[in-house]
Amino acid sequence: MVLSSASSRWRWLEDECVIQGDRPRRPGFNVRVVTIAEHFPARAELEALLRAYVEAWPNTATAVRRGFEKIARERPQGKAHLVKRGLWPY
C-alpha cells in the first residue's frame, strides 16, 4: 500500500486500530490526542520501542521542542488552542 501524505498514514494507522484519537476527526485546525490503541496486540512492544528510540536519539526531544517553538511564533492561536486543551508541554 502506498500512502501519499502524512495524514493518510495517520488515517491508515487509525483505521487499522494501531492508534486511537481522543475524539473524531473534524475539518480545520483541530488537534487530537492520538495514542496507541488499547486493543492493539503489540501495544507493550510498540511503547517499549518508542521509549528506546527517544533514549537512543535524544535530539528527537530537541526537534519536538523546536516544532512547538515554531507554532508559538507562527501561530499564536495554535499555541492558545494547545494550552487550552492541556497539550502544551512547556
DSSP per position, 7-28 = HHHHHHHHHTTSEEESS---SS
| Total domains, the chain | 1
- pLDDT of res. 74: 92
CA distance 28 to 75: 14
Q: Who's near 39: CB < 8 A, 6+ residues apart? A: 17
- Asked whether residue 22 is assigned to any structural domain, the reply reads yes
Q: Tens place of pLDDT for every residue, the chain, 90 residues?
A: 454 566 788 889 999 999 998 888 888 767 778 889 999 999 999 999 988 988 898 898 889 889 888 988 998 888 888 888 888 876
**Does 58 reside within a domain?**
no
**Cβ-contact 36, 45 below 8 angstroms:** no
Residue 88 resides in a domain:
no
pTM, whole model, 2 decimals? 0.64
Quote the pLDDT of residue 90. 67
